[in-house]
Amino acid sequence: MKILLLLIPLSLAFLAGAIWLFFWAVNNGQFDDLDTPGLLPLDDAPRHKEPPP
Amino acid sequence: MPRDSNCWHCGESLAGSVVAHATVAGQKRAMCCQGCRAAAEWIEQLGLSDYYELRTAPAPKPDAGDSTHDSWQDADSSRHVIRDLGADLRETLLLIEGVRCTACVWLIERSLGAVPGVVSVQVNAVARRARVIWQESKITLPQLLQALSRTGYRALPLDAGGLDDLRRSESRDALKRLVVAGFGAMQAMMYATAIYLGAAESLDNSTRDLLRWLGLLVATPVVLYSARPFFTGALRSLRASRVGMDVPVALAISAVYAASLIEAVRGAGEVYFDSVSMFVFFLLTGRYLEMRARHHARDLTDALARLTPPFAERALEDGTFKRVGIHELRVGDRVRVAEGGIVPADGVLLTERCRVDEALLSGESATVTKRRNDPLIAGSVLEDGPVLLRVERVGADTALAGIAALVGRAHAERPRLQVVGELAAGRFVARVLTLTAITAAVWAVFDPARAFPAAIAVLVISCPCAFALAVPAALTRALGAMARRGVLVVKPDGIQALAECTHALFDKTGTLTEATLSLGELRTFDGVSHDAALRLAATLARQSRHPVARAIAAAYPAIEAADVRDVTTHAGAGVSATIDGRTLRLGRSDFALAGKPLAREFEDAVLLADDRGPIAAFRITERLRPEACAAIAALQARGMTVLIASGDSASKVAAIASRLNVGTWRARQLPAEKLAWVAELRETGARVLAVGDGVNDAPVLAGADVAIALAEGAELTQASSDIVLKGGRLDAIAAARDIAQRTLAIVRQNQRWALYYNFSAVPLAALGFIPPWLAALGMSLSSLGVILNALRIGSGDATPRTARPEHSPAEPFPRPAA
């Protein structure tokens, strides 16, 4: 059962990492709008870079 | 798709008057006005013509010229809408009018993103808000707004530190707490499982203690961080000396946690770290679902936020005018309002006379003539001008602000279903706590060693999660299922009312029939030429915004200068004016002829007449909406009584009613009469569902048990309704009612189920028969059962999409569930 002494801290470290990552994502607005990004795959590279005057 | 009968850009009926053409994606398209042409060409030039393929609703009609943009140039007025991000970067929150589908978002992000100086654009389609970050050295706010209005969207900068930030932090916090609770619950369950299995496999004591301490380690953040809203909520309601749901929940959480903590330190007995984490996780899930449904509902009705203009023109001592922010207006100020402008504050007219549209307040879609010293209400639209008014009430004192506050309060209120559910759950938890205390006391007499474990087992197994989840899970699922069918529930109370309604009252014009009318037959009298009659009628019709008047006006697009005086609109009757010295009336036959007799066949026609007699008779044709027949049949098949109330003549209403197989109808109804009919029906015990589109339907909608407005209709009508129907899909009403009924049934089922479970489990736990692992399992399974049951709402019976072809070429992006 000694392996637990390695595996448990490891799992806790993973857990802390996952929560930190999630907090980072939330604070960066990744979850603010869950409706709009459904359109993002349709975003082709713009054909005209400069807008007309 | 009928490309030639409607403007390619905004979808408005062309009625034979193509004003302009634009080339979109290599094809020449008809446009209804120069504004649409410019917008379409601009979109094409930006290389964004894919928009027309992606969109699911017609584009907003661009405004010819909007002079208010420049007002934001002034540093004073723009200070509160711009946030300084430092180093030349500025951030603004824009409320964008005319966002109709997700393709709009795409178009706005692309077109605004292409403007030099714009760093980032983030558009939220549901909230109709855009967050724009830009460089101050390269672009100004007015230029930004100008760029946006070229594509046809009007934007209003919102207070930078406003509502959105509060809401954003609320939803972010809720998400973080939920995830911490979820992860914590998972880990705690893992250690608990090891302990439970170890008990059978003879786990050695040191490992068991280690696992307990680890359970404590992961459960502590869950209780101290994730469960904090329950503790603060409990404190708040204790201070207000109320006992809501939070008090018993907080008590239960702290009792189980403290007991487990003591056991872990003592190294004996059972720990319930897994149960307490799971408990918090399930409760937070319920709260999170409820919060999302609430935010979603509020997004749909921010219409009132933009009914008053941000600026007003204040008269100075020397007779000149200065543009000031609306918050700077004081009582007694004299303010000038230009033609087509919006009255900024409640006041008194100082000019001789003017015509205003007070539709948003009175619900009457007709212009009203005001004379000197008559009161003007903030938010009403001036039809002519400019006029001068003296400000009487400003800001929160105006009538409009009162309405906005009412609407806001209605949205801040939590659904009745939810409140009742929470009260039941609160009472339930309080009883459980009593039961726990009794269990502990009884065991203390017989066997003190078992008092503590048995009491904790009662507390854990009877957790109110299932109760707390029953309503929000079902409501959220129902809102999502309805949204997918084009039914947007604005007030969640509407679900309950919709399920219970027995009568459906439909407006005819614009609701059962298409919103735009067209001119059918034209008959003239006394040898007047068709053209001359049409010219007079169209000139007169332009003075009114009634759909019938619009149909006549559209039939004669060439505008000729005429001397039009004394225009008076008679609500529900017609319009009269003096044109080139001749007094003319256009409208219902009894109004136009002022009592003179006429052949019966013209009784229901629209008549143009002068004092000598009739000049011409018009027949207005209207098309039934394609889904109307099926929609009404579906409602009748469900045992509902369908009624039609219309302001139109008896023969027209009868024709429509017989086509739709509706037995009961009333014709020539004024808004007040329709409302009286609703009240009459309700007195006989009927629950009335009212369906309407225009502002004249607003009183009826407000008086009904549940109100459904069409999304094409007036904004205020939508704001005062419970449910908004997208794309005029009447057939969705019956489907929505089925979903609502199923939702209510499932909520009741869930609550009954949770009650039975507790009834059977609590006595066993009190007698000490339930081992801790079974208590934890029972708790989780009861919550899971409730959620799975809620998922049955709206599954499997999805109706095929029958969106109207001319407006919805395709709907490639099904809206995700709310």
Query: What DSSP string runs through B498-539?
Result: HHH--EEEEEIIIIIB-SS-EEEEEEESTT--HHHHHHHHHH
What band does B488 get if pLDDT is binned at 50, 70 and 90? confident
Q: Are strands B574-579 and B353-357 parallel, antiparallel or unpaired?
A: unpaired
- Only one residue has tokens 């809720």, namely B174
Structure tokens belonging to residue B517:
């009318």
Q: How many CB atoms lie within 10 A of CB B79?
A: 11
pLDDT, average across residues B621-638: 85
DSSP, residue by residue, B68-104: GGGGGGSHHHHGGGEEEEETTEEEEEEEEET--SHHH
**Across chain B, what does the average pLDDT equal?**
75
Is the sign of the CA dihedral B36, B41, B46, B48 positive or negative? positive
- Tell me the per-residue pLDDT of B248-296, one tens digit each, with 9 for 90 and over: 788 888 888 998 898 888 877 778 888 889 888 988 887 887 777 667 6
Q: Which residues of chain B lie closer than 8 angstroms to A23, CB-CB?
A: 176
Measured between CB atoms, which of B110, B123, B218 is closest to A46? B110
Q: Which residue of B has its CA nearest to A29?
A: B172
| pLDDT score for B367 | 63
Name the residue type at position B266: R
- Tell me the per-residue pLDDT of B42-59, one tens digit each, with 9 for 90 and over: 677 666 666 676 666 666
- Tell me the per-residue pLDDT of B252-261, one tens digit each, with 9 for 90 and over: 888 889 988 9
Structure tokens belonging to residue B320:
């000149």
Kindly list the distances between the CA atom of residue B637 and the CA atoms of B497, B663, B689, B731, in Å, as whole numbers in the listed order: 19, 14, 16, 13
The SS3 call for residue A24 is helix
Is residue B637 packed enough to be buried (19+ CB in 10 Å), middle (13-18) or exposed (0-12)?
exposed
User: A28 at the B interface (CB within 8 A)?
Assistant: no
**Under an 8 A CB cutoff, do B124 and A36 touch?**
yes
pLDDT, average across residues B584-612: 74
CA distance B76 to chain A (A): 29
How many Å apart are CA B733 and CA B741, to the nearest integer? 12
- Only one residue has tokens 């707390």, namely B468
Catalytic annotation, residues of B: 507
Highest-pLDDT range among B33-37, B218-222, B241-245, B765-769: B218-222
End-to-end CA distance of chain A: 73
* Cβ contact B696:B363 at 8 Å: yes
DSSP, residue by residue, B663-687: -EEE-S--HHHHHHHHHHHHHTT--
CA B451 from centre of chain: 53
- Tell me the per-residue pLDDT of B183-242, one tens digit each, with 9 for 90 and over: 999 999 888 888 888 776 777 878 888 888 989 999 999 999 999 988 988 888 788 776
- Tell me the per-residue pLDDT of B399-417, one tens digit each, with 9 for 90 and over: 666 665 555 555 555 667 7
Q: Does residue B80 or residue B219 have the better pLDDT? A: B219
- Complex ipTM tops 0.95: no
- Tell me, what DSSP letter sits at residue B816? P
Q: Which residues of chain B lie closer than 8 angstroms to A29, CB-CB?
A: 122
Instruction: Report percent pLDDT > 70 for chain B.
Output: 72
Q: Which residues of chain B lie closer than 8 angstroms to A44, CB-CB?
A: 50
CA distance B183 to chain A (A): 7
**Under an 8 A CB cutoff, do A52 and B122 touch?**
no
Residue B73 has pLDDT above 70, yes or no: no
User: A53 at the B interface (CB within 8 A)?
Assistant: no
| pLDDT score for B298 | 62
**Under an 8 A CB cutoff, do A35 and B102 touch?**
yes
User: A4 at the B interface (CB within 8 A)?
Assistant: yes
- Only one residue has tokens 């007169």, namely B540
Q: Which residues of B touch A (CB under 8 A)?
A: 42, 45-47, 50, 54, 102-103, 105-106, 110-111, 114-116, 122-126, 147, 168, 171-172, 175-176, 179-180, 183, 187, 207, 210, 214, 217-218, 813, 815-816
**Under an 8 A CB cutoff, do B815 and A35 touch?**
yes
Q: Which residues of chain A lie closer than 8 angstroms to B125, CB-CB?
A: 35-36
Q: Which residue of B has its CA nearest to A49?
A: B114
CA distance B516 to chain A (A): 31
Query: Which has the closest alpha carbon to B230: B177, B272, B268, B191?
Result: B177
Q: Are strands B503-507 and B688-692 parallel, antiparallel or unpaired?
A: parallel
| pLDDT score for B33 | 63
Measured between CB atoms, which of B47, B102, B214 is closest to A8? B214
Q: Which residues of chain B lie closer than 8 angstroms to A31, CB-CB?
A: 171-172, 175
Measured between CB atoms, which of B46, B102, B122 is closest to A38? B102
User: For residue A45, what are the contacts with CB-CB under 8 A and spacing of at least 6?
Assistant: none
Q: Which residues of chain B lie closer than 8 angstroms to A48, CB-CB?
A: 45-47, 114
**Under an 8 A CB cutoff, do B813 and A36 touch?**
no
Measured between CB atoms, which of A11, A29, A39 is closest to B106? A39
How many Å apart are CA B742 and CA B786, to the nearest integer? 14
Is residue B612 packed enough to be buried (19+ CB in 10 Å), middle (13-18) or exposed (0-12)?
exposed
- Tell me the per-residue pLDDT of B152-163, one tens digit each, with 9 for 90 and over: 677 777 665 555
Measure the CA dihedral B396/B398/B399/B405, to 10°.
-10
Is residue B420 packed enough to be buried (19+ CB in 10 Å), middle (13-18) or exposed (0-12)?
middle
Structure tokens belonging to residue B128:
């109709």
Kindly list the distances between the CA atom of residue B296 and the CA atoms of A34, B289, B705, B736, B740, in Å, as whole numbers in the listed order: 12, 11, 22, 18, 18
Let me know how many helices (H) and strands (E) chain B has, helices first: 26, 29
Is the sign of the CA dihedral B489, B490, B492, B493 positive or negative? negative
Measured between CB atoms, which of A27, A35, A52 is closest to B126? A35
pLDDT, average across residues B311-328: 75
Q: Which residues of chain A lie closer than 8 angstroms to B179, CB-CB?
A: 19, 22
What band does B783 get if pLDDT is binned at 50, 70 and 90? confident
Structure tokens belonging to residue B817:
């569930």
Substitution target from A28, A33, A44 for chain B, most B beta carbons within 10 A:
A33
Measured between CB atoms, which of A1, A29, A35 is closest to B125? A35
**Under an 8 A CB cutoff, do B102 and A39 touch?**
yes
* Cβ contact B62:B809 at 8 Å: no
**Under an 8 A CB cutoff, do A35 and B210 touch?**
no
User: A18 at the B interface (CB within 8 A)?
Assistant: yes
- Tell me the per-residue pLDDT of B709-719, one tens digit each, with 9 for 90 and over: 887 666 556 66
How many Å apart are CA B210 and CA B219, to the nearest integer? 14
- Tell me, what DSSP letter sits at residue B794? T
In angstroms and rounded to an integer, the radius of gyration of the C-alpha atoms of chain A is 21
Q: Which residues of chain A lie closer than 8 angstroms to B102, CB-CB?
A: 35-36, 38-39
Structure tokens belonging to residue B177:
């707490």
Structure tokens belonging to residue B422:
């929470």
CATH 3.40.50.1000 fits B486-514+624-728, yes or no: yes
Is the sign of the CA dihedral B419, B488, B708, B295 positive or negative? positive
| pLDDT score for A20 | 95
* Intervals of CATH 3.40.50.1000 along chain B: 486-514+624-728
User: A38 at the B interface (CB within 8 A)?
Assistant: yes
Kindly list the distances between the CA atom of residue B89 and the CA atoms of B95, B145, B735, in Å, as whole numbers in the listed order: 20, 17, 49
- Tell me, what DSSP letter sits at residue B491? S
Residue B60 has pLDDT above 80, yes or no: no
What band does B776 get if pLDDT is binned at 50, 70 and 90? confident
| pLDDT score for B360 | 56
Structure tokens belonging to residue B688:
């009335």
- What class does CATH assign to B309-397? mainly beta
* Cβ contact B148:B155 at 8 Å: yes
- What class does CATH assign to B67-161? alpha beta
B31-35, B44-48, B679-683, B706-710: least confident range: B31-35
Write the Ramachandran bin of A46: left for phi over 0, alpha for psi from -120 to 50, otherwise beta. Answer: beta
DSSP, residue by residue, B242-265: ---SHHHHHHHHHHHHHHHHHHHH
Tell the CATH topology of B518-621: Calcium-transporting ATPase, cytoplasmic domain N (3.40.1110)
User: For residue B621, what are the contacts with CB-CB under 8 A and spacing of at least 6?
Assistant: B517, B518, B519, B520
User: A19 at the B interface (CB within 8 A)?
Assistant: yes
Compute the residue count for chain B: 818
Substitution target from B100, B169, B183, B193 for chain A, most A beta carbons within 10 A:
B183
pLDDT, average across residues B16-29: 65
What band does B561 get if pLDDT is binned at 50, 70 and 90? low
Output the CA angle B578-B582-B586, nearest 5 degrees: 65
Q: Are strands B503-507 and B641-645 parallel, antiparallel or unpaired?
A: parallel
Q: Which residues of chain B lie closer than 8 angstroms to A45, CB-CB?
A: none
* Intervals of CATH 3.30.70.100 along chain B: 67-161
Structure tokens belonging to residue B699:
């009183």
What band does B15 get if pLDDT is binned at 50, 70 and 90? low
End-to-end CA distance of chain B: 31
Query: Which has the closest alpha carbon to B82: B149, B144, B157?
Result: B157
- Only one residue has tokens 């709206």, namely B794
**Under an 8 A CB cutoff, do B172 and A26 touch?**
yes
Q: How many CB atoms lie within 10 A of CB B654?
A: 15
| pLDDT score for B811 | 35
| pLDDT score for B798 | 47
Q: Which residues of chain B lie closer than 8 angstroms to A42, CB-CB?
A: 50, 54, 106
- Tell me the per-residue pLDDT of B92-117, one tens digit each, with 9 for 90 and over: 777 777 665 666 677 777 778 777 88
Residue A50 has pLDDT above 60, yes or no: no
